[in-house]
Structure 1
Amino acid sequence: MRSIRAAAVGAVTLSLALAATACGGGSSTGGGSGDSPKTLTYWASNQGASIAVDKKVLAPELAKFQKQTGIKVRLEVVPWSDLLNRILTATTSGQGPDVLNIGNTWSASLQATGGLLPWSDAQFAKIGGKDRFVDSALGSTGVTGKDPAAVPLYSMAYALYYNKQIFADAGISKPPATWDELVADGKKIKAKGKQVLGAEGSNLSENIHHVFVFAKQHGADFFTADGKANFTSDGAVAAIKQYVDLMAKDKAIPTGNAEYAQNQSVSDFAKGKTAMLLWQSASANLTSQGMSDDAYGIAPVPVRSGTPGTGTQINSMVAGINLAIFKDTHNADGATKFVKFMTSDAEQKILNTAYSSIPPVKAAQEDTAFNTPANAVLKNTLATSAAALPQVADESQFETAVGTAVKELFADAAAGRTITTAAVKAKLEKAQQQMPAK
């Protein structure tokens, strides 16, 4: 979703230890290798239902950029399971791409490595100025008070997607607004022989996104105000237990989902196997898998009680993708032109339409194409009930450590083990011990 400095050592060591299959930083294709001023290498994150879908979306736009500027873009779409490790390895070797996508939650961690070009006001001026972007998107581009490490490209929010026919067959007239309502609806759905809620238990990023929201709903944060890890508070433990209990106790998440990786839960929902899905800006993904727009509804993610809002009623992270320039690029001018092109009003409309995301560029977001009922839910969530993940240097290590803890808890639940408060706390204590010492 993403020349090594001392602050990056912990991130690199942890990520490579836990994902030894990372294949390196593009030593034969990276901008640090000395590409021609007429060539750029771009690592794009996997946004569509498959890498092939992303190539189909991006290829005509990159051809358009080449026609306008004479600069050819060599595209590699990198799966989320590999992206962070690829980026960290690239910052170590100095052999990275010229331009890359990063998950916006990684902005502060990758900023701390020194491997990305800072976006000063003067740099922003080259792409039309910082004030072109909405504030919520800029809030996930790096540590407050420092020049951003990246520029917003796609904005997203989580929503509850529900199968209208499965709901009707189960006698359910409206989507659940609270978790208790979701569990109760799940019993009716299971009685009709359908699975209730899709999840991806082995997808570390998805695990983190969901437990972050559950923690907010329990009044907890995973970091203290001064940036120290605080994984074992009562609220954090209760939040993770509640999420895993959707499989372990409530039987809403199928046990097989403990092993699911990226997009598998979306595929199940598109095929009518599950009644509900918690996902960020999923419409284009569902369409590409053959599900018609009128087959499903979109509602806010449930909260513990009441309706979504601020404070403990947060129901989404501020999701999104940022665009960064690798600091060791030999083509900074061409890379900046590419960022300007990708964040232009016209391209923002094209790309965010293709991915059913929300443009972080104000002028593009105001276009009528983004005033659909689905986008209304997402835009309202971003405006009123979403929170940014902690913009701290250790955020990527947090995603790996706590995401893995949740993965292991799902595996325990799938194996029929009781998920106790003590078991959750023990996993979180282990995760906190893996964090860099302060």
Structure 2
Amino acid sequence: MRTSNRLLAATALVAALSLTATACGGSSDGSSSGKSGAGSGKGTTITYWASNQGTSLDHDKQVLTPELDKFTQQTGIKVKLEVIGWTDLLSRILAATTSGQGPDVLNIGNTWSASLQATGALMPWDDAAFAKIGGKDRFAPAAVAAAGAADKPPTAVPLYSSSYALFYNRKMFADAGITAPPRTWDELIADGKKLTSGEHYGIAVEGSNPAENIHNTFVLSQQHGGSWFDSSGQATFTTPENVAAVKQYVDLIAKNKIAAKGNAEYAQNQTLSDFATGKAAMMLWQSAATSIKSHGMTPDQWGAAPIPTLTANATGTAAVNSMVGGINLAVFDNSKKKDAAVKLVNFLTSTEEQKLLNGKFGLLPPVKAAQSDPAFQTPDLKTLADVLSTTAAPLPQVANESQYENLVGTAIKGLFADAAAGKDITADSVKSALNKAQQQMPAS
């Protein structure tokens, strides 16, 4: 893509999103280190924008800095690290695609892959590029499927993987006489009502977090047999299936009243706090063990189960109970130090680094050789891994996916606010909000 087209694509993304968003060397793997040359070895310094995966930005720096120092010792390439929070990351990336002044290597939410791919700013990972890091076959197919449009080379390489599960408080369940986590949504609502009393609620949600809204309503739409885009990439937000999915989610506050009205204002990890302190007995969350522990819970106090489906023993898309979560590594295509950047990708996706980094952050390694490590065999991670490999689906890999996340996620935020204010949430009001979002979508 020529620079002028790249600028137009990136500028369109920035406008549509209003600059908001809320989602050992490789030689041990037998991979090559890339061709040598200027900007590829000793004396070179590259920049790396990392996403916030730990309990704080400082936590990420504490984990990543010694590993990047190890990379420097092995290659002579220095790495200037910046960890960026999720509320700022996408806007920073989009600004960089517009200006051409980006880092050499960066983390991107895997749901943004196709949208950022459309800007032409990121290096495509064709077979030759993948060969420099050991080949595409090293990575789990589900993770690669969430790295760009299906008919093009991936725009990034999987770094961390995750999926959603239903986390539940064992003691609160036992006290309410509930002997097993719910398998269907009807059971979840029934259990939630048993668990809701006074200031304690059955479940916590983050109604002001557009990304969480998208992730959960994507799953529910799949279970209802819906899709947010048609085969040509055009938005189909107002279908009966999507309306039903959004209403079902917002009804956790509105109709069923098993989530607190205050959850409509939650935007950044308050759900984790409510769950860990016993204010809520359940939450729908991605890989969460590290964060739950940081809030004071011990592993024996919670369980993780697959998110319920509409009916028991569902199959096909009706069995989808998670989006394919994860973080991908990308390289800016205009980097003057691309060889060094690829070497860093090679290092971070090496088997040993995959074990270490995903273990530190409580995530799942997308590199298959690392997945059998004992660190990833805890009950909750085994549940999440099974979901990821069997019943998770990638969010739409279309050029306008980022706008969909922002517009529909924000529309659902508004519906949660209405529910908290006591307004009726009807199929018509949901459809109206989704129609308004669809009208703001750019043409495919």
The TM tier, using the shorter chain, reads over 0.9
Judged with a 3 Å threshold, the aligned counterparts in structure 2 of structure 1 residues 152 and 274 are, in CA distance, closer, same or farther, namely same
Letter of the 1:219 partner, please give it: G
> How far apart, CA to CA, are the structure 1 residues paired with 2:417 and 2:101?
37
Kindly indicate whether the alpha-carbon contact (under 8 Å) linking 2:20 and 2:406 is maintained by their aligned counterparts in 1.
Answer: no
Letter of the 1:417 partner, please give it: K
Match of 1:87 among 85, 90, 93: 93
Does 2:54 align with 1:52?
A: no
Farther off after superposition, 244-253 or 259-268: 259-268
User: How far did 1:355 drift?
Assistant: 1.7
Partner of 2:221: 215
TM-score, normalised on structure 2?
0.92
Correspondences of 1:97-176 after superposition (within 5 Å): 97-176=103-182
Partner of 1:179: 185
- What do residues 365-394 of structure 1 show as CA deviations (whole Å, max 9, x unaligned)? 122332222122112111221111111111
Kindly indicate whether the alpha-carbon contact (under 8 Å) linking 2:19 and 2:90 is maintained by their aligned counterparts in 1.
Answer: no
Correspondences of 1:405-416 after superposition (within 5 Å): 405-416=411-422
**3-state DSSP of counterpart to 2:282:** strand
**3-state DSSP of counterpart to 1:100:** strand
Kindly indicate whether the alpha-carbon contact (under 8 Å) linking 1:170 and 1:192 is maintained by their aligned counterparts in 2.
Answer: no
Partner of 1:14: 16
**3-state DSSP of counterpart to 2:366:** coil
How much identity, in percent, do the aligned residues show?
A: 59
- What do residues 153-206 of structure 1 show as CA deviations (whole Å, max 9, x unaligned)? 011110010011111111111111111111111121113752221111111111
Kindly indicate whether the alpha-carbon contact (under 8 Å) linking 2:201 and 2:280 is maintained by their aligned counterparts in 1.
Answer: yes
> How far apart, CA to CA, are the structure 2 residues paired with 1:251 and 1:104?
33
User: How far did 1:145 drift?
Assistant: 2.2
**3-state DSSP of counterpart to 1:247:** coil
- What do residues 385-412 of structure 1 show as CA deviations (whole Å, max 9, x unaligned)? 1111111111011101101101111111
> How far apart, CA to CA, are the structure 2 residues paired with 1:386 and 1:309?
12
Correspondences of 1:327-406 after superposition (within 5 Å): 327-406=333-412
Kindly indicate whether the alpha-carbon contact (under 8 Å) linking 1:133 and 1:360 is maintained by their aligned counterparts in 2.
Answer: yes
- What do residues 288-343 of structure 1 show as CA deviations (whole Å, max 9, x unaligned)? 22221111011000111103543212110011110001122221111111100100
Partner of 2:36: none
**3-state DSSP of counterpart to 1:147:** coil
Partner of 1:29: none
Match of 2:234 among 228, 236, 253: 228
Kindly indicate whether the alpha-carbon contact (under 8 Å) linking 1:37 and 1:334 is maintained by their aligned counterparts in 2.
Answer: no
- What do residues 183-237 of structure 1 show as CA deviations (whole Å, max 9, x unaligned)? 1111211137522211111111111100100100111000001111000001001
Farther off after superposition, 153-162 or 188-197: 188-197
User: How far did 1:18 drift?
Assistant: 5.6
> How far apart, CA to CA, are the structure 2 residues paired with 1:75 and 1:257?
34
Partner of 1:28: none
Kindly indicate whether the alpha-carbon contact (under 8 Å) linking 1:40 and 1:335 is maintained by their aligned counterparts in 2.
Answer: yes
Kindly indicate whether the alpha-carbon contact (under 8 Å) linking 1:137 and 1:360 is maintained by their aligned counterparts in 2.
Answer: yes
**3-state DSSP of counterpart to 2:166:** strand
**3-state DSSP of counterpart to 2:251:** helix
State the aligned residue count: 422
> How far apart, CA to CA, are the structure 2 residues paired with 1:378 and 1:308?
18
Does 2:246 align with 1:240?
A: yes
User: How far did 1:437 drift?
Assistant: 2.1
Does 2:308 align with 1:302?
A: yes
**3-state DSSP of counterpart to 2:147:** coil
> How far apart, CA to CA, are the structure 2 residues paired with 1:62 and 1:258?
39
RMSD over equivalenced CA pairs, Å: 1.8
Letter of the 1:66 partner, please give it: T
Partner of 2:24: none
Farther off after superposition, 73-82 or 217-226: 73-82
Q: Which runs of 5+ in 1 are unaligned?
A: 21-33
> How far apart, CA to CA, are the structure 2 residues paired with 1:309 and 1:134?
22
Letter of the 1:149 partner, please give it: T
User: How far did 1:37 drift?
Assistant: 5.7
User: How far did 1:124 drift?
Assistant: 0.9
User: How far did 1:45 drift?
Assistant: 1.2
Kindly indicate whether the alpha-carbon contact (under 8 Å) linking 2:46 and 2:77 is maintained by their aligned counterparts in 1.
Answer: yes
Judged with a 3 Å threshold, the aligned counterparts in structure 2 of structure 1 residues 58 and 324 are, in CA distance, closer, same or farther, namely same
**3-state DSSP of counterpart to 2:113:** helix
Match of 2:79 among 69, 73, 90: 73
Kindly indicate whether the alpha-carbon contact (under 8 Å) linking 1:99 and 1:325 is maintained by their aligned counterparts in 2.
Answer: yes
Give runs of ≥4 in structure 1 deviating > 6 Å: none
Letter of the 1:333 partner, please give it: D
> How far apart, CA to CA, are the structure 2 residues paired with 1:310 and 1:425?
26
Farther off after superposition, 359-368 or 318-327: 359-368
